[in-house]
Amino acid sequence: MRIFILFAFAFFLSPSLSKTQSLLPERRSDWPSAGRQTPIPEYNTVLNILDFGGSGDSATLNEIPFQQAVGALQGHSGVIYFPAGKYLFHNPVHLRDSLIIRGEGANLTTFYFDLGSAQQNCIISRGVIEHDSNAILLTQSALRGDTLLYAETDFKPSDFVRLQFDDTDLIYSDWALGSAGQLFDVLAKEQDKIRVNHPLRLDCDWALHPRLRKIEPVDDAGLECLKIKRLDANVPIGSNILFEYSRRCWLVGVESEVCNFAHFTFDCSTHCEVYGCYAHDAFAYGGGGQAYRTCVRIHFKRQPRPE
């Protein structure tokens, strides 16, 4: 099964409701460019975690060997390879740009995470978004279908931005306020406007203070051919794998066993893919949000933020 993520918005309709509930035409969108638009890259440099003191004996901690292996890449693209074994972690593992964590197979390479009682995610790909106080206001309204946004900005081609606006008329739950918006890549800067890579999906009236926030994403990172098993229960917010402010990332051939909030979460991320994966079991079900397989969203207020 393959899941394509264009940007973090998801709607679900039950077949039983299809005759009584449907999206209005002005809220419907095409999804021709969901998922990665280019093949998953093959990075030439492959480093074996065992060469950096890693151990798959299920007892030795592997955080420091992993950090040393990533450091050995010196910021270049590469693969950290975990041969067959059981690898223990007591702290989260962080992905960065152009980094692949690859096992020998989901039936052979297992990561065990015991993070204690802290609200933490196990594997994290997390970019950074600038503060809303630094957002760039649009200088005029934008309409559904527009690919030109008028704003005085120094954005450059390939910059990743989020458009948001005051959404109290659209959102009815306090926890979701601020979730309306869209993610774009900047294609070109044209004097007092920018051209973006996807048509606007909703009208964006200037009275709603539409604004652009720049994101420094994690690009082109992935997990492949391994299994994750979580050992620490009762952590309601933490996910087994989190992609936040990430672009063109992927999960391939990953098994996730036992979660708290979700197995796989994508927050404010675009053009990501999940395929050939298997997620099952949770410590608890229901109760305000638990046991999700794949959670896709554009915004979620939380305090404190899991590391």
Domain span at residue 206 reads 130-216
Domain final residue, candidates 163, 190, 216:
216
* 3-state DSSP percent of the chain in helix, strand and coil, to 5: 10, 40, 50
The reply to whether 194 and 247 lie within a common domain is no
The reply to whether 114 and 225 lie within a common domain is yes
Quick one: pLDDT at residue 190? 87
Q: What is the dihedral of CA 54, 55, 60, 64, to 10 degrees?
A: 10
Residue found by looking up tokens 């197995």 in the block: 263
Q: What CATH number does residue 109 fall under?
A: 2.160.20.10
The reply to whether 72 and 205 lie within a common domain is no
In a domain, 18, yes or no: no
**In contact, 23 and 53? CB cutoff 8 Å:** no
pTM: 0.88
Quick one: pLDDT at residue 3? 56
| CA 75 to mean position of chain CA atoms | 21
The reply to whether 123 and 136 lie within a common domain is no
Q: Over the chain (307 residues), what is each successive 10-residue block's mean pLDDT?
A: 46 42 70 85 97 97 98 98 98 97 98 87 96 94 94 94 91 83 94 93 92 97 98 83 97 96 94 96 83 80 43
In a domain, 23, yes or no: no
In the structure encoding, which two tokens stand for residue 243, read together?
């992609």
Quick one: pLDDT at residue 26? 67
Q: Any idea how long the chain is?
A: 307
Residue found by looking up tokens 């980094």 in the block: 99
In a domain, 306, yes or no: no
Quick one: pLDDT at residue 10? 36
| Separation of alpha carbons 127 and 302, rounded Å | 17
